[in-house]
Amino acid sequence: MESPPAAPAPSARSADAPPSVAVRSTRPGAAIVVRRLSIVAFIVAADLWSKAGIFSWMNTLGDQSALQLDVHGHQRFEIFGDWFAFMLSLNPGAAFGQLESFPYLLIGGRIVASVFLAYWIVSSRVGRPAFNAALVLVMGGALGNLYDNLFLDLPHDGRPFGPVRDFIDVYFGVWDWHFPTFNVADSCITVGAALLLLSSFDKRANEPAPASRET
């Protein structure tokens, strides 16, 4: 009487299944993508709300005693002494006034960057919390400033696009030095850029990781 045939040994393909499943698990699911985009929307809303609120409030103060004049004649509402204050500013360029003379390059670059950031946000694998947080921060900040450029009814002074509203002013009187006035969107872009730089040194970011590592 013949004995039943032995069960076939697991093939190399089936043996490789768990690693492939692990790799697939690092792809963002719908819930993660929605969460990332929701944070982007929150950043944009916070930026626009803060700019609208501070500009409206300070415009009602006028030349009242609540505003202080620095040595350069800037009207500022001091928060922490004279080094941190609110000061209204309309910036037609990028940070430090860069690209002010090249508005189409500036706005076109912001639009292209936002498109690429959106693609990375919906496709970047999980297990890279610093990198993915950086993408969300930079995109939220870029969209906040881009809204001012494209949709806000502000004086253009002959330029094709509107300026960006800035209001956070840092001044060091001992050196008579102003940091360029900025806003919430600029802060998010700066922090996001720093996280991108730091994540580039994280070797673990290049390794597959389970979805539970995503933040």
Q: Is 16 a catalytic residue?
A: no
Cα–Cα distances (Å) from 37 to 31, 107, 121, 136, 193, in that order, read 10, 22, 8, 8, 18
Options 47, 148, 166, 169, the catalytic residue: 166
- CB atoms under 10 Å from CB of 139, counted, come to 27
Cα-only R_g, the chain: 25
Options 47, 148, 169, 186, the catalytic residue: 186
Helical (H) or strand (E) element with 78? strand 75-80
The helix/strand/coil state of 100 is coil
* Sign of the CA dihedral with 128 first, then 130, 133, and 138 last: negative
Q: Is 70 a catalytic residue?
A: no
Catalytic residues: 166, 186
